Amino acid sequence: MAQNHEDMAAELHQSLNERVPASDLNATGGHIPNTAGEIQEKNEATYHSADAEHEHTPEGGEPSDHERRTLRHIGENLPASAYLIAIVELTERFAYYGAQGLFQNYINNPTDGSSGAAGLGMGHQAATGLNLFFQWFCYVTPILGAIIADQYLGKYRTILIFAGCYWVGLLILWTTALPGSLAHGAGIGGYVTAIVVIAFGTGGIKSNIAPLIADQYQRRVMAVTTTKTGERVVIDPAITYQRIYMVFYWCINLGSLSLIATPFMEKYEGFWSPFLMCFIMFNVGILVLILRRKSYVIRPPQGSIITDAFKAIGMMIKNRNMDAAKPSWRVEHGNNKPVAWNDHFVEEIKRALRACKVFVFYPVFWVCYGQFSSNFVTQAGQMNGHGMPNDFMQNFDPISILIFTPLLEAVIYPVMRRHGYELRPIKRITIGFVLAAMCLAYAAIVQHLVYSVGPCYKNPAYTAADPSVCPAGFDGDTPLPQNIHIAVQAPAYIFIGLAEIFISVTGLEYAYTKAPPSMKSFVQSMYLFTNAFGSALNEALVPVLIDPKFLWMYVGISVFTFGTAIVFWFTFKHYDAMEQESYDLDRDVPILTHDGIKRTEDE
């Protein structure tokens, strides 16, 4: 029996020695290298591991993970064709804002010219309602333009067609605002026709020109380069796309400065004069678009791509699985019926759906933004302008954007990157919501100040439905302003301008970078459609647009927007960590060239 125990012990000892030799174990059971060769091999492995982290990628090569983490990230300069497209957008926005900024007064002003230039005489509530309808319709029509572009004609040809539609609308607006047309009753019919036609035109342009400008940039992956100072840096396409849309938005707001001139033209010449100037400026944009056609990268349409996308989404919903539309998933689950796409396309759809979830919160911002071209104009009309038209104050919004956009792009963002901090999209959007809430909070304070002074206190003569409510507020038939200077409004416009930089610019960028290459216009139209929802929500507020309810409307919107910022951040903050993964889906998208001219459509 004892012998058997000894044999078993010997066998166990031998087995253990085969697994881990006794000479390789220390007192705690740790492994000890038992030869000089093994020790050298271990040291070399450690050396090469450390050396890999510090090995330099060749100039122009894709950075290693270590270089991505440690080198400063920069953007590239924009191609010349991108600036040309930005000029086209500048002229379109010049026409849009120059005309739309006057609509509130054009609809509201009496036909006899007793309160400024002769208008349509429909009153304040009708003015706000029609103005909001126009804004709403302008952001519904981009869906039509996107479908035509992505499936049938391509972005460039679609822009040309809808620019022609826009041209007709501006022509109708100008000619029916002429004094002779107004005298013969053509004003209201002409205006309604014009805003419908213009809405189709601007919608078809907006959904396509924003992705077209980003199409001009061709880099798909990061690259290492050396600056003139000898610093090794990483060229990051994400930063370049951010720069593209900062420049794009800067040009939009440069165009919107048409509102500096048009209110004075309205005041001294009538509405037909600024409408004519907008029409002329739009013709400049059409010429740039046509004459420089061979300079642009033009992607061809992809047939039934939108139809395929909705089919894929339907499969996801039916099977309650985001991968259910993948051909590989279908085969694994016994469905061998072929589909018109591959697994990569489904991953792109999933990325686009993530962006659309982010856009669900955007209508709240557009409710805030919609105030500056409607109720802020009315608020300014209640104040003492000292010769300044009430719709002139809108210019502080684009002026603040023109000042702060280059400051952020050239100073603040680079300094933050040097210190290793990058403001990713979700952070920027959250900041935008907070700034929008601050804008409406300040507007509430201004409205309180308006109601706190004479001559009419809580019933300003400018918006009084019945002059008998405050006889002291009228000089004959002319309403007198409240005793508060119009300049008090300025900070509200600055707040909304800053909010736009953080939330609206990022929305354009997010819509482009998260969309499949063949669906850029459609996803852009989904982003723009959120503005239509915002206008619809603003329409719901029309019944409370009377004194003294303006104050509580501003307070309510401000509180709700701040609450939205908090919910938005905690819902989507993890998306920022997924940014690079999203960009990697586009690494194999081909660069478009043709005989040195970047385009893919035939002449």
The pLDDT tens digits for 516-571 are 887 888 899 999 999 888 888 887 887 887 888 889 999 999 999 999 999 999 99
Query: For residue 50, what pLDDT is reported?
Result: 45
Asked if residue 271 has pLDDT above 90, the reply is yes
Query: For residue 53, what pLDDT is reported?
Result: 55
DSSP letter at 371 equals G
Query: For residue 390, what pLDDT is reported?
Result: 81
Query: For residue 465, what pLDDT is reported?
Result: 64
Of 51-55, 480-484, 580-584, minimum mean pLDDT range? 51-55
- End-to-end Cα spacing for the chain: 98
Average pLDDT, the chain: 85
Across the range 22-40, mean pLDDT stands at: 46
Across the range 452-478, mean pLDDT stands at: 82
Determine how many CB atoms are found less than 10 A away from the CB of residue 7: 10
Of 29-43, 52-66, 568-582, minimum mean pLDDT range? 29-43
Going by their DSSP bridges, the two strands 72-74 and 223-226 should be labelled as unpaired
Q: What is the pLDDT of residues 174-204, one digit of tens each?
A: 999 999 999 888 999 999 999 999 999 999 9
Query: For residue 592, what pLDDT is reported?
Result: 62
Which residues are registered as beta bridge partners of 39? none
Residue 378 token pair: 């009315």
What SS3 state is found at 182? helix
Across the range 6-32, mean pLDDT stands at: 46
What SS3 state is found at 439? helix
Percent of the chain with pLDDT over 90: 49
H helix intervals, 139-236? 142-148, 155-176, 179-183, 187-215
Determine how many CB atoms are found less than 10 A away from the CB of residue 239: 20
Of 212-226, 372-386, 535-549, 582-596, minimum mean pLDDT range? 582-596
HSE, side-chain direction, 13 A CA sphere, residue 387: 0
* DSSP state letters, 240-252: HHHHHHHHHHHHH
Query: For residue 293, what pLDDT is reported?
Result: 87
Query: For residue 21, what pLDDT is reported?
Result: 44
DSSP letter at 49 equals H
Query: For residue 46, what pLDDT is reported?
Result: 45
Q: Return phi, psi of residue 27, to 5°.
A: -65, -25
Asked if residue 23 has pLDDT above 60, the reply is no
Residue 179 token pair: 């004094």
Q: What is the pLDDT of residues 324-383, one digit of tens each?
A: 999 999 999 888 888 888 898 898 888 888 889 999 999 999 999 988 777 888 888 889
Cα distance between residue 91 and residue 47, in whole Å? 60
Query: For residue 263, what pLDDT is reported?
Result: 85
Residue whose pair of structure tokens reads 């100037």 in the numeric block: 277
Query: For residue 588, what pLDDT is reported?
Result: 65
Residue 506's pLDDT band (cuts 50, 70, 90): very high
Asked if residue 28 has pLDDT above 50, the reply is no
Query: For residue 117, what pLDDT is reported?
Result: 84
Across the range 225-250, mean pLDDT stands at: 93
Residue 282's pLDDT band (cuts 50, 70, 90): very high
**SS3 annotation, 261-322:** HHHHHHHHHCCHHHHHHHHHHHHHHHHHHHHCHHHCCCCCCCCCHHHHHHHHHHHHHHHCCC
H helix intervals, 34-112? 36-54, 65-70, 80-108
Asked if residue 48 has pLDDT above 80, the reply is no
Tell whether omega for the bond before 548 is within 30 degrees of 0, i.e. cis.
yes
Across the range 56-85, mean pLDDT stands at: 90
Q: What is the pLDDT of residues 106-131, one digit of tens each?
A: 988 888 877 778 888 888 778 878 88
Residue 54's pLDDT band (cuts 50, 70, 90): low
Query: For residue 548, what pLDDT is reported?
Result: 85
Per-residue exposure over 249-269, b if at least 16 CB sit within 10 Å of its own CB, e if not? bbbbbbbbbbbebbbebbbee
Q: Which residue did the predictor score with more confidence, 181 or 25? A: 181
DSSP letter at 31 equals B
Query: For residue 8, what pLDDT is reported?
Result: 47
Percent of the chain with pLDDT over 70: 87
Of 48-57, 121-130, 319-328, minimum mean pLDDT range? 48-57
